[in-house]
Structure 1
Amino acid sequence: MSQPTPLPSPPTSPPRSPLSEKAPTTPAAMAEVATATIAVPLLPLRETIISPVGDILIRLLTPTHTLHYKTSASVLITTSKIFSAMLSPTSPFSEARRFNNSPYSSTEPFVLKLHDDDPVALCILLKSLHNHPSVPQSLTFKQLVKMAVVVDKYDCSHATRMYGERWMKAWISKAEIPGYEEWLFVAWVWGVEKIFGKLFGKAVMEVCVQRVGGERKGGGVFGEFVPEAVLKAILNHRAQLLNHIKLVFTALFNRYQPSSTSSQSPLQCAATPPDARCDAITFFSVYRKLSELNLLPWNTIEDLDGFTVNELVGWVLNATPASNVWGGGTKMLSLEKHGKECNPLEKLAAQVKTAIVAGGGSKEREVWEFRVREDDCSWEDIVKEFGIMWQS
């Protein structure tokens, strides 16, 4: 059965590559197929008993398999908001009404159809929700991501938190390493705030914007799964940073522009006496660099969609020493004393760093608080449920 329409669309399981129709002929290709067969054995087409007294038979339909999992409706309803919407007596959806109006039979339990989930991940999820003894103690990182997908899809991170912490433990040290970008999604699902905050900030600096079907989407550093709320917060944070940085560059250019009361711009050269040729070299050098980066004209944030924040400010923050930057031009114009004093890059770099801090804000904290607000519950909150005074 498909997820009810009024609920947010959850991420789907990772797509599987279709098998080649042509049989392998080389020894290397045959070995690769043999290895793949050993690593991913064919699943038995039989019923898996998750709960011996279950009243729900989940029928998972995949392109190659039909699998059955016998489960308990009461467990699913109390541990998953999605299953609750599908089965709860108070749910307005037709599937829930059909279940609650159907007679229970131990030989013919109610059939609930699901589609396209990873069969093993769904089986482990159902076992963990039922506190089944045969739940894996450890997972590979790819398996961990698959578990995060189904946990997020059926909205049951709170019920699987104990298992999630166990599975994540072996991979925490890899969170900021290239190749493990899905850690942002994993941390979001199971509430690892410290890792989420670090990866959120990293994504803001490294994400660029891609246009897909007329919509602006994040690209460059993400794994396959990024919650919509997280993506929106990252792109908003990126735009805020770029606006702060733009003010820094605008202020730099304005210093070399003629004032409203004079046709000549005030000299910025720090040498004594100041030399207008120094200003010309300084202004042209910065302008030329921005032109080389295709950053001019810079009218709106959308003009920078193809750039990351790191790419935009990297040439400033990692600039070569002043003597090397200005060496050729200053010698040609006999402005040997104007190198370090008049080079704006050091000051510009400091201003960019300040702008990054100022534009940083607490967007990751805001989106995180949005994520965990409904899960926050205290002893006193439980006491209030009784409606009587209770000694705590």
Structure 2
Amino acid sequence: MRSFPAASIRSLLENQNPQHSPPRSKAPTMSKPTPHPSPPTSPPRPLSGSVTTTTTTTTTTTTVPTATIAPSLPLRETIISPVGDILLRLFTPTHIQDYRTSASVLITTSKIFAAMLSPTSPFSEAQRFNSSPSSSTDPFVLKLHDDDPIALCILLKALHNHSAIPRTLSFKQLVKMAVVVDKYDCSHATRMYGDRWMKGWTSKAEKTGYEEWLFVSWVWGAEKIFGKLFAKIVKEVCVQRVGGGMDRTPILKDRKSANGFEEFVPESVLRAILTHRATILSHLKPVFTSLFKRYQPPPTPSQPPLQCTATPPDPRCDALVFFGVYRKLSELNLLPWNTIEDLDGFTIDELVGWTLNAAPASSSVSPVGGGGGSGMKILSLEKHGRACNPLDQLTAQVKQAMATSVGNGEREVWEFRGREEEYSWEDISREVSK
């Protein structure tokens, strides 16, 4: 028997009701199901009597004949529901794991399993399950691929309201649980557990190395944490082309070689990060270009007023400022600045940091041409000090541009998420009294 990939089912569900279907995450390698052709017409049946079975209280280990399933892969069974009518068969690199579960529980707690199994589902998988003889004692087998077996087991126990569920998880385990919960779209049914698991890690949400918190907070609806992380990550990401093509994705510079947060975040959130980043850059561009134009030598003999505030004004002062501005903007690839894509390699923090961190602490004069982390040092005339340095004005303008453009980008993303609707006692009362 073949199964439909969860991602394909999710796509169909979203297309059927785009306004209320949540934007789903880009499936990580660890959880993305393997596509398979349509299932055969005959329903699956259990293995023949030739297998050898060893049973414990909740787990069965079976040696599977080579002709039945892939060679040398032992089959193990974990009983989630003793009266379960369906086997979820997970294929892993080392073994095949069966979970005996209740189809009715899966259908009512997961949109993905509902699409696979509910009587009203148009999928052939569901039709085959519902057309199976009711008198049969053999459970229906539904194949899954590439899930973490422990995370899936914990999820199924949570959906079946087991007591044997971990109260705490490591952060890596928390991310694995978020992946499988998101894949099968059952965050609402696991909210109680998600809140408990997240509690021990909330203090790390904005720390380096915990960037997957953006995805975790999205899955279980931790809106305040999500909002803070969205605004933070917008300023900390640069952009790279995917596969050398036209698609662009935000990445964290210090995690280019590892699976970073972008491996888990939903496509809609990644797009929103790019959009919000572009909005901030569009507000910053006039700040830098206006400074450059103010000191740029005029193309005609008509001389504009000197920016130098000394008495009398010294044209050499403006020339030095222009040279310093030109050099720094060139280093930042801001000249020429044709499109936002010209700054793909820079983060917002890098772009504004050289300005905000470079304001002189006193009126002492700095040498020309200083670069790197020390900011833009542009004055060297002895009689010219802080009054002629445009850096203070530039810093104020950059801060204003940032305050104007930060806005509520994360709020818009959260509203678009549209994953959960709020219900009142009165809403349920009307539903019951229909």
Q: Shorter-chain TM-score category? A: 0.7 to 0.9
Q: Determine if the alignment matches structure 1 residue 201 to structure 2 residue 201.
A: no
2:86 is aligned with what amino acid? Answer: I
Q: Secondary structure of the residue that 1:46 maps to in structure 2? A: strand
2:97 is aligned with what amino acid? Answer: L
User: Which residue is equivalent to 1:327?
Assistant: 366
CA contact (8 A) 1:257 1:265 kept: no
Q: 1:271 aligns with which of 310, 314, 327?
A: 310
CA contact (8 A) 1:326 1:339 kept: yes
What percent of counterpart residues are identical?
A: 70
Name the CA shift for 1:6/1:120 in 2 (closer, same or farther; >3 Å). Answer: closer
Q: TM-score, normalised by structure 2?
A: 0.77
1:283 positional shift? 1.8
Q: Which moved more, 1:116-125 or 1:318-327?
A: 318-327
1:258 positional shift? 6.3
CA contact (8 A) 2:86 2:139 kept: yes
What pairs with 1:81-96 in structure 2 (closer than 5 Å)? 81-96=111-126
Name the CA shift for 1:102/1:210 in 2 (closer, same or farther; >3 Å). Answer: same
Deviations 1:260-306 (A, max 9, x none): 99732332222232222211111211111121233322111000001
Q: Determine if the alignment matches structure 1 residue 380 to structure 2 residue 380.
A: no
1:88 positional shift? 1.2
Name the CA shift for 1:168/1:101 in 2 (closer, same or farther; >3 Å). Answer: same
Deviations 1:83-139 (A, max 9, x none): 111111111111111111112356311111110000000000000011011111111
Q: 1:46 aligns with which of 70, 76, 84?
A: 76
1:387 positional shift? 5.0
User: Which residue is equivalent to 1:248?
Assistant: 287
User: Which residue is equivalent to 1:218?
Assistant: 250
Name the CA shift for 1:324/1:66 in 2 (closer, same or farther; >3 Å). Answer: farther
User: Which residue is equivalent to 1:348?
Assistant: 394
User: Which residue is equivalent to 1:227?
Assistant: 266
Deviations 1:220-255 (A, max 9, x none): 164231111111111111000000000111221232
CA contact (8 A) 1:241 1:360 kept: yes
Alpha-carbon distance in 1 for matches of 2:277, 2:301 = 37
1:158 positional shift? 0.6
Alpha-carbon distance in 1 for matches of 2:167, 2:336 = 55
C-alpha RMSD over aligned residues: 2.6
What pairs with 1:1-392 in structure 2 (closer than 5 Å)? 1=3, 2-3=5-6, 5=8, 7-8=10-11, 11-12=26-27, 14-15=29-30, 45-104=75-134, 107-213=137-243, 214=245, 215-220=247-252, 222-223=260-261, 224-257=263-296, 263-321=302-360, 326-328=365-367, 335-372=381-418, 374-387=420-433
Alpha-carbon distance in 2 for matches of 1:329, 1:169 = 51
Larger helix percent: 1
Name the CA shift for 1:333/1:145 in 2 (closer, same or farther; >3 Å). Answer: closer
Q: Alignment length, in residue pairs?
A: 361
CA contact (8 A) 1:81 1:155 kept: yes
Alpha-carbon distance in 1 for matches of 2:214, 2:129 = 37
1:15 positional shift? 4.2
Name the CA shift for 1:228/1:325 in 2 (closer, same or farther; >3 Å). Answer: farther
Q: TM-score, normalised by structure 1?
A: 0.85
Structure 1 segments unaligned to the other structure (5+ residues):
17-42
1:352 is aligned with what amino acid? Answer: V
Structure 2 segments unaligned to the other structure (5+ residues):
12-23, 32-59, 62-74, 254-259, 370-377
Name the CA shift for 1:329/1:120 in 2 (closer, same or farther; >3 Å). Answer: closer
CA contact (8 A) 1:322 1:340 kept: no
1:234 is aligned with what amino acid? Answer: I
Alpha-carbon distance in 2 for matches of 1:294, 1:277 = 25
1:322 positional shift? 6.7
